[in-house]
Amino acid sequence: MNDEERRSKVDKLLRECVGDKLMFGQTGLALEKAEQAYSLAIQSPEVPSPWPELAAYRLAHLMLRSPDSDSDLSEIEELLRFAGKPGPTGNQPVLAPRPVIYRLAVLKRIMHKTSNETDRRGIESQIKHAFKQARDQVEGLLREDRMTAGTRGSYPTGPIQHSFFNMLELTAYFLGETYSPLEGLGALDISNVEESDAWVILGPDSEIGSVRMSRQLAMFELEARAKSHPAAVLFCLASGSDDPAWRLASTSKWQTTNYEGIKLLAYLLRDPSIRRKELRGKVVGYGADQNDRFRKAIERVQTGLQDVTGRSDMRVFVPRSNPLSFDAPLLLFGAVQLDTLRG
């Protein structure tokens, strides 16, 4: 099993964990899946973020639901610490404040079970640090909300609390109460994105594109891959009015670019064997100017990638190849909304 197949397997196992049948009354079976997912995700080399963090978070939750969770609190605390580590750009963790908030519950329970006064003081110090960490992360999210709302000339609004199940669940974790009465009350989370909103990562291995996720997770993983491959070119393609953009992984500034050119890259990465005629129809549609528009899309990709990489002499495509094939030793990764690749 290669690295990308391992990533796909992790995604599959995590989805099975939160599937209706497993999450609604079969915690034991879900726990087995979570353990497999976490083990696969952290094998060297680790699969890209956010999958190790998601696997650790899911496993910690399922372990907390076990009737004998008290015996595993130290391991659960380590899993939540791992799940809450900083993101690839040093900003918010992929799961935002969730892991550190749940970790507070676990630390409190560990402290209650600790009789040694020196150890208790050490745990109290960890709790204070974790609480400040959670508070800072929540403040960061609220600041982002206010900045977004400010651009619209209004303030963010919403219910006082919209996550009552999570509040009840966290209370059970704090108190160490039996989880079984809560089985079946949960809903699917961000790892189970609606089909109409699904995104994928595309890259040099077609297996990469088999994993569907939210935009949030796709952009997080794109940044994680950028950190591992600083010479790669990244691109983003969304349906609707968003402008497609690309950048060199080692930089932070995105450049807007041609929509048809980015679609061309996306289709080629998704299916390198696609024939020119089919590719042309998918990228530019059909009509009298089809050939001219397709030629221009190829030219724009050629000149655009030369500009982004600073390699003015680079030839991107093999001339007149069918299927159209890359000629340049260039690594490409894209976050793409699946709706842009329909048809």
Q: So what's the pLDDT on residue 179?
A: 80
Rg (CA), the chain: 23
Q: What is the pLDDT of residues 59-80, one digit of tens each?
A: 999 999 888 899 999 999 999 9
Q: Which two tokens stand for residue 334?
A: 């894209």
Pairing of strands 199-202, 255-256: unpaired
Q: So what's the pLDDT on residue 191?
A: 59
How far is it, in rounded angstroms, from Cα 280 to Cα 291?
A: 8
| Those residues with Cβ within 8 angstroms of residue 265's Cβ, 6 or more apart along the chain or in another chain | 235, 301, 332, 334
Quickly count: other Cβ atoms within 10 Å of residue 182's Cβ. 15
218 touches 201 (CB < 8 A): yes
- Tell me which of 44-53, 157-166, 287-296 is least confident: 157-166
| Those residues with Cβ within 8 angstroms of residue 34's Cβ, 6 or more apart along the chain or in another chain | 13, 14, 17, 55, 58, 59, 62
- Tell me which of 195-199, 304-308, 320-324 is least confident: 195-199
How far is it, in rounded angstroms, from Cα 125 to Cα 178?
A: 28
